[in-house]
Amino acid sequence: MKKFAGHYGAPLLMILPSIVLIGIFVYGLLGVNFWTSMTDNHTAAQAAGREPIAFVGLTNYIELLLTEDFRHSLANLVLFTATFLVGAMAMGFLWAWLLERPLRGGRLFQTIYLFPMAVSFVASGVVWRWLLNSNQGENASGLNRLFQMIGLDVLQNPWWNNITFGIMAIALPAIWQLSGYVMALFLAGFRGVPDELREAARMDGASEWQVYRMVIFPQLTPVLMSAIVIIAHMSLKSFDLILSISSAAAYQTKVPAVDMFLFKSSFDYANSAAVGAFLLIIIAFLIVPYLVQQHRSRTR
């Protein structure tokens, strides 16, 4: 015991405050959230302690899944995540591939293209709310007005006011903001591939396309996985951008994060916690396999 204390005592004391804080404010609050989600705490009187709260198990989760509104929110989340993920990954990878070779003005373009990431979602949402204005014809503004001016009236559309696909329009500003970040990730990956590997492939008779397909692209797999996890988990938590462009009451752009806010605002803490638990479980299914794969690759 003395040997253990002498060996690990000082390091443990140094990290003990962090362990305690994480235990209380991360795992402790997660436990409180899961407990709240399995109670009948649906009213302001219960939230204030004037009425009793009972344990109901998984009832709130089942009832949420049975409501059409919440299923619509989950469908919107899938559409938003898919559009955001594919758009940001495609744009970021394309620009990284083009800028991988030294170009005049390339550094300036990288800076300009990465700049939107420094803007908050709320600030960009205010601008994009005007750009994605759904008015058409004589009252058109934003992108619809631009299409009208250049003679492409056929491209005018209701944007985020479309009941079925409106949430996909909200993904456009998200792609605009985060594709620069994805570009920076892939650009670092491209430039991290040793020149010796490229030269060896060329000496073996590989064409430029074969060098990329057989040598460079496989080296980018860790970057690709990191980018997918980061963008996907950001899209699952999207809230401020959606509310900046649309509104909490807009059915066409509802996602679980907005539902959680609405439940909490009406003192329905149980359903709000249940929605939060759903989001945590979805994110865990995405991130935990990635972390396991990363751990296995490091221990080989």
Mean pLDDT calculated for residue range 126-130: 90
Domain assignment present for residue 175? The answer is yes
Both tokens of residue 36? 């709240």
Task: Compute the distance between CA of residue 15 and CA of residue 38 in angstroms, rounded to an integer.
Answer: 33
pLDDT at 273: 95
CA 97-188-178 angle, to 5 degrees, is: 75
Domain assignment present for residue 97? The answer is yes
Mean pLDDT of the chain: 87
pLDDT at 271: 95
Domain assignment present for residue 49? The answer is no
Domain assignment present for residue 44? The answer is no
H-only helix segments in the chain: 2-22, 29-37, 44-47, 59-66, 68-99, 106-114, 121-131, 142-149, 166-191, 195-203, 208-211, 217-219, 221-236, 240-245, 256-265, 269-299
Domain assignment present for residue 91? The answer is yes
Both tokens of residue 174? 């998200």
Both tokens of residue 231? 């963008």
State the CB neighbour count (10 A cutoff) for residue 119: 14
Residue 26 dihedral angles phi and psi, to the nearest 5°: -110, -70
- State pLDDT tens for residues 18-47: 889 999 998 999 999 999 999 999 999 988
Task: Compute the distance between CA of residue 229 and CA of residue 45 in angstroms, rounded to an integer.
Answer: 40
Measured between alpha carbons, how far apart are the two ends of the chain, in Å? Answer: 33
pLDDT at 168: 92
- Mean pLDDT comparison of 35-44, 148-157, 280-289, highest-scoring range: 35-44
- pLDDT of residue 3 exceeding 80: no
Domain assignment present for residue 27? The answer is no
Domain assignment present for residue 23? The answer is no
Q: How many CA atoms lie within 13 A of 96 on its CB side?
A: 26
- pLDDT of residue 183 exceeding 80: yes
- State pLDDT tens for residues 40-99: 999 999 888 888 999 999 999 999 999 999 999 999 999 999 999 999 999 999 988 888
- pLDDT of residue 193 exceeding 70: yes
Both tokens of residue 124? 């960009």
Task: Compute the distance between CA of residue 219 and CA of residue 295 in angstroms, rounded to an integer.
Answer: 18
Q: At what angle do helices 29-37 and 269-299 cross, to 10 degrees?
A: 130
Domain assignment present for residue 277? The answer is yes
Domain total of the chain: 1
H-only helix segments in 133-268: 142-149, 166-191, 195-203, 208-211, 217-219, 221-236, 240-245, 256-265
Mean pLDDT calculated for residue range 132-156: 85
- pLDDT of residue 121 exceeding 70: yes
Residue 225 pLDDT grade (very low, low, confident, very high; cuts 50, 70, 90): confident
Sign, CA torsion 25/31/32/37: positive
CATH code (residue 179): 1.10.3720.10
- pLDDT of residue 208 exceeding 90: no
Query: What's the whole-model pTM score?
Result: 0.86
Q: Which domain range does residue 179 map to?
A: 71-299
Tell me which DSSP letter residue 136 carries. -
